[in-house]
Structure 1
Amino acid sequence: MKPTPPKESFFDVALLFTILISIALVIIESVPPINSQHRSLLRILEWVITIIFSIEYILRILKVKKHKYSIEYLLGHCHHDHCWLWRDISPQTPLGQFLASAVMIVGYAIIAVPTGIVTAEMMKPTKSSNTQVCPHCLHDKHESDAVFCKKCGGKLN
């Protein structure tokens, strides 16, 4: 692999810096007091960053057209057994392809499994409880339609 020219390296660093600023703006905007106090400034900064990203995208398209490649080259293209992405590498050996696939699946699982667990918990029906206290054993966690104490069996009020 040949070294990245200084202009491209500067561009990459500037792009990463802009991405970090964009993320920071989203985080800052999620804090209600800051958002309400600086809403117009945050909106202007979001538009500036959106315009910067749009210009960057257009420049990449122009660069691709200049080199007589298709947009597919810029965005990446896949064949049935492997993908090549812009400025990316792909494993050449069967073992490397297998390991890359395994790592990709683990990566998806890291995202999908916790998401599934959280979603399942959110979909569980909530048990409604009331404030009735059993006069016999003083147990206080009863269902809203309970007539008898689930701990001692005594009649509730």
Structure 2
Amino acid sequence: MSEQSSHKTWRTKLHEIIYEADTPAGKLFDIILLIAILASILLVMLESIASFDEKYHTILNISEWVITILFSIEYIVRIISVNKPLKYILSFYGIIDLLSTIPKYISLFLAGTHALVALRALRLLRVFRILKLARYLGASNQLANAIKASRAKIAVFLFAVLIAAVIFGTIMYLVEGEEHGFSNIPKSVYWCIVTLTTVGFGDIAPETPLGQFIATLIMILGYGIIAVPTGIVSAEYTKASGDKEGKYSDEEHEHIKDLQLNTQCCVNCLAETHQDGAEFCHKCGCKLHHD
């Protein structure tokens, strides 16, 4: 076997372990990675507790550095195991991997920035690969498309709510006045938004009968407001589902339902969710299996 062929085999095996979860080695790697991510987040949380950090600061700091170095090595290995490193670096996961690694190094120059390692929580999105939930991502994409299709209606609705908040806030400022905590219109609008969203912090409350009556109307209106965006998105989701169902026959639906997707990742373009038994990438056409 030539040196070049040996190099290809080494990179291919490394790629399978790091980017795929269908092999025992790949699944073990991802499980260890998730445990390390959870451990690093726990360390940051514990370090934020002053009494705990004062007692175990050295242990926490060393543990964070060990995990950071491991993540740094992993990030470098991910880059060298793909054909197009820049594609990984600029990808969603690539940016998240970088952002979750550099805060600890930055903390050497800027105090307090190490807490940003909590961004590592975003890396837990890889649990979709480990649990083989990729086949269900179509449903999440359908929901995302429904929200996207509803954005104009939702924008108009939010604008109307904002206008209502300004009007009611101004009315409450005139009714209650500064002596009851409604010292200015912006603060009154803030109270109105908090009340409309049914949050109710309780830091400001109307005391006059008229003000309490208006507040009651705003609270009731708030429950109706919560239902409107849900209805808009639900309608678009139902419409999208109906359109999608109309595109396929019953036989085609059964075929699609039986499709088994895996976590195989293309070494060239990093595309995932390939069908079991596929030899070529569904996105770039690159061969998936290497001898």
TM-score range, shorter chain: 0.3 to 0.5
Q: Taking CA–CA contacts closer than 8 Å with sequence separation of 6 or more, which of the two structures ends up with the larger relative contact order?
A: 2
More strand by share: 1
* Structure with greater helix percent: 2
Normalised by the length of structure 2, the TM-score is: 0.27
**Greater C-alpha radius of gyration:** 1
